[in-house]
Amino acid sequence: MPNKNNAKKALRQSIKHAAANKEVKDAFRKAMKDVTKAIKNEEADITAKVQLAQKKIDKAAKKGIIKPNTAARKFSRLMKKVNAAKK
């Protein structure tokens, strides 16, 4: 437990930031799972879900929650699955 006031504040901030980061991470993971499920169920309208997933991934990268290369890799692999399902 921190003793100094600035350390206490830093602890409060880190807890708050961790919660916000978790929300963003969970959101893009859920979006990716939705796309994967749509592919497995052979749904007709996958494009809207793919766009939402791309938006969530890009937002996480922009906020620094995931690295830009990680975001690119995740989206690339997702698109690979989508394109394979279309064939």
Mean confidence (pLDDT) of the chain: 94
Per-residue pLDDT tens for 30-54?
A: 999 999 999 999 888 899 999 999 9
* Tokens, residue 48: 């809207």
In total, how many domains does the chain have? 1
DSSP assignment string, 5-70? HHHHHHHHHHHHHHHHHHHHHHHHHHHHHHHHHHHHTT-S--HHHHHHHHHHHHHHHHTTSS-HHH
pTM of the model: 0.83
Q: What is the CATH number of the domain that holds 55?
A: 1.20.58.110
Range of the domain at 15: 5-86
Residues in Cβ contact with 28 at an 8 Å cutoff, skipping those fewer than 6 apart: 53, 56, 57, 59, 60, 66, 74
